[in-house]
Amino acid sequence: MKNLHLLLITFSAQGHINPTLQLAKRLLCGGAAKVTFATTIHGLSKIKSLPSHDGLSFASFSDGFDDGTKPNDDPHHIMSEFKRVGSQTLTHLIQNLSKEGHPVDFLVYGLILSWAAEVARDMSIPSAFLWSQSASAFAIYHHFFNTHEGIYNNNNNIPPSFVNLPGLLSFAQEDLPSFLLPTNPHASITLCLREHIQNLEKDPNPCVLLNTFDALEEEAIKNVGNNINLICIGPLVPSDNKPAGCDLFEASKQYIEWLNTKPDRSVVYVSFGSLAVLQRKQMEEIFHGLVSTGIPFLWVIRSLEDDDELKAMIISELDGNKQGLIVPWCSQVEVLSHQSVGCFVTHCGWNSTLESLVVGMPVVGCPQFSDQSMNAKMVEDLWGTGIRARVNHEKEDGIVKREEIKRCVEIVMGLNGEKGEEIRKNAAKWKGLSLEASSDVNLRAFIEKLGA
Ligand code: UDP
């Protein structure tokens, strides 16, 4: 087999970096000789520590804003600069790697980097798109954006009240990815998602690596996007549940010690990922809901230092009360696999959802945007590994109230009826199935075919 060198490029957000890094490591374990992992210059400079692994090296390309300062008034300008400068600097990176004696045999590009497919085509390098969300989300975007019958190609950008696709749950409009809704404030991302789908159509051998596994979304995978070579390579989660490296935030130190003092399955872990910014009112409701359960909780709040009022309220209420520990960042995979954690209150980002499934952790879903609502629905209705906290629609403020947080946490912790036990059994079942996933076999076959 040929000594394969793959270049993996990722947008510099934590939810994109983490699965890409896992993929890099698995490609090396699966037979690739060399993997170069590249993200933006600014993103690379923010990474706290780079992991070392035989055959793995790191590189960067530019998004046009190398010091991280972006004009915040014009997202279309930011995206078009990203495309222009990104295409140029990616081309240079590939040329330099070749000059240094490491020609790139294959490019894997992630979400938001749709222009990379064109760079690869222009340089005659085969490529694949790493889809770091669910197969169901891919099926929905494909349904909306494909040029043949995509319903967003007739200037009719209003989704139907329900989307019923073969193999998928029936998704109500409000459960669709937020980038498809009329209320979406991020039109530039919607355009980029459309470009992704339409670039695949231009590729004579379109290939998508899906961060999911066959059993998890069997029917969705069977029914998605004809003519596309879909390869399930997930769950892209560290198999040892140890920090994988490449965090963009500094983790605190003391939380594992704190967890070690708690009985088994007695703690609620709360995190809304690396991007979502919750309204102050929502933070207060979550805080009071958690406190009212009397259950110990570990909560990641990234920006507490920026909100003096919230910080003062939390500190004064928790004063002398050891019920809660707030940290700015932690190793989530380590926390989720800690024996004292019994429930995960999550925004249902796809990585967090997979990480909970892999360790068999029951969840309370509080989705915020993007694909999170559909993930929360699948958690509740497809896998039965958790429940979704409901917003009080009558009040129309989009806030989950403290009583609802309390109700959901108590159910999942098994303090309120038998539902908690049923959820726990389902979570254990999915943990087992995730361990049996055939993704490593799929990845090995993929590498063998590339190297043949
Ligand atoms: N994460 C972490 N520590 C934290 C919070 C999040 O390591 O304190 C990781 C988490 O394990 C996951 C990623 O950050 O791999 C977040 O990705 P996800 O898709 O869940 O959400 P996003 O941040 O993209 O909204």
The pLDDT assigned to 257 comes to 95
User: What is the Cβ-side half-sphere exposure of residue 178, based on CA atoms within 13 angstroms?
Assistant: 14
Q: Which atom in ligand 1 lies closest to the alpha carbon of residue 16? A: 24
Q: Which residue type, as a one-letter code, is found at position 410?
A: E
Assess whether 16 carries a catalytic annotation. yes
Angle at CA of residue 20, ends 17 and 21, nearest 5°: 85
List ligand 1's pocket residues with C-beta within 6 A. Answer: 13-15, 18, 271, 273-276, 300, 329-333, 349-352, 355
* Distance between Cα 306 and ligand 1 center (Å): 20
Q: Which atom in ligand 1 lies closest to the alpha carbon of residue 355? A: 11
196 or 226, which is more confident? 196
Question: pLDDT-derived band of residue 130, with 50, 70 and 90 as boundaries?
Answer: very high
* Distance between Cα 428 and ligand 1 center (Å): 22
Catalytic position from the list 5, 16, 142, 143? 16
Question: pLDDT-derived band of residue 323, with 50, 70 and 90 as boundaries?
Answer: very high
The pLDDT assigned to 437 comes to 87
Query: Per mean pLDDT, which range of 51-55, 69-73, 177-181 is the poorest?
Result: 69-73
Torsion of CA 120, 125, 130, 136, to 10 degrees: 90
Taking the C-alpha atoms of residue 247 and residue 229, their distance in angstroms, rounded to an integer, is: 31
Q: Which two tokens stand for residue 251?
A: 């983790």
Residue 396 has pLDDT above 80, yes or no: no
pLDDT in tens, 370-390: 999 999 999 999 999 999 999
Taking the C-alpha atoms of residue 298 and residue 258, their distance in angstroms, rounded to an integer, is: 9
Question: pLDDT-derived band of residue 192, with 50, 70 and 90 as boundaries?
Answer: very high
Q: Could you tell which of 241, 242, 274 is best to mutate to test the pocket of ligand 1, judged by most ligand atoms within 8 Å of the CB?
A: 274
The pLDDT assigned to 395 comes to 63
Percent of the chain with pLDDT over 70: 97
The pLDDT assigned to 347 comes to 98
* Distance between Cα 332 and ligand 1 center (Å): 7
* Distance between Cα 333 and ligand 1 center (Å): 9
- From atom 24 of ligand 1, which residue's Cα is the shortest distance away? 15
Q: Which residue type, as a one-letter code, is found at position 137?
A: A
pLDDT in tens, 269-295: 999 999 999 999 999 999 999 999 999
Taking the model in full, what pTM does it have? Answer: 0.97
| Mean predicted confidence (pLDDT) in 206-234 | 93
Average pLDDT, the chain: 93
Kindly report the three-state secondary structure assignment for every residue of the chain. Answer: CCCCEEEEECCCCHHHHHHHHHHHHHHHHCCCCEEEEEEEHHHHHHCCCCCCCCCEEEEEECCCCCCCCCCCCCHHHHHHHHHHHHHHHHHHHHHHHHHCCCCCCEEEECCCCCHHHHHHHHCCCCEEEEECCCHHHHHHHHHHHCCCCCCCCCCCCCCCCEECCCCCCCEEHHHCCHHHCCCCCCHHHHHHHHHHHHHHHHCCCCEEEECCCCCCCHHHHHHCCCCCEEEECCCCCCCCCCCCCCCCCCCCCCHHHHHHCCCCCCEEEEECCCCCCCCHHHHHHHHHHHHHHCCCEEEECCCHHHCHHHHHHHHHHHCCCCCEEEECCCCHHHHHCCCCEEEEEECCCHHHHHHHHHHCCCEEECCCCCCHHHHHHHHHHHHCCEEECCCCCCCCCCCCCHHHHHHHHHHHCCCCCCHHHHHHHHHHHHHHHHHCCCHHHHHHHHHHHHHC
Taking the C-alpha atoms of residue 279 and residue 98, their distance in angstroms, rounded to an integer, is: 48
Q: Which atom in ligand 1 lies closest to the alpha carbon of residue 372? A: 25
pLDDT in tens, 61-105: 999 999 988 877 688 889 999 999 999 999 999 999 999 999 999
Bridge partner list, 43: none
Percent of the chain with pLDDT over 90: 81
* Distance between Cα 247 and ligand 1 center (Å): 9
Q: List, in order of start, the domains of the chain with CATH numbers.
A: 5-234+438-451 (3.40.50.2000), 255-434 (3.40.50.2000)
Q: Which atom in ligand 1 lies closest to the alpha carbon of residue 273? A: 23
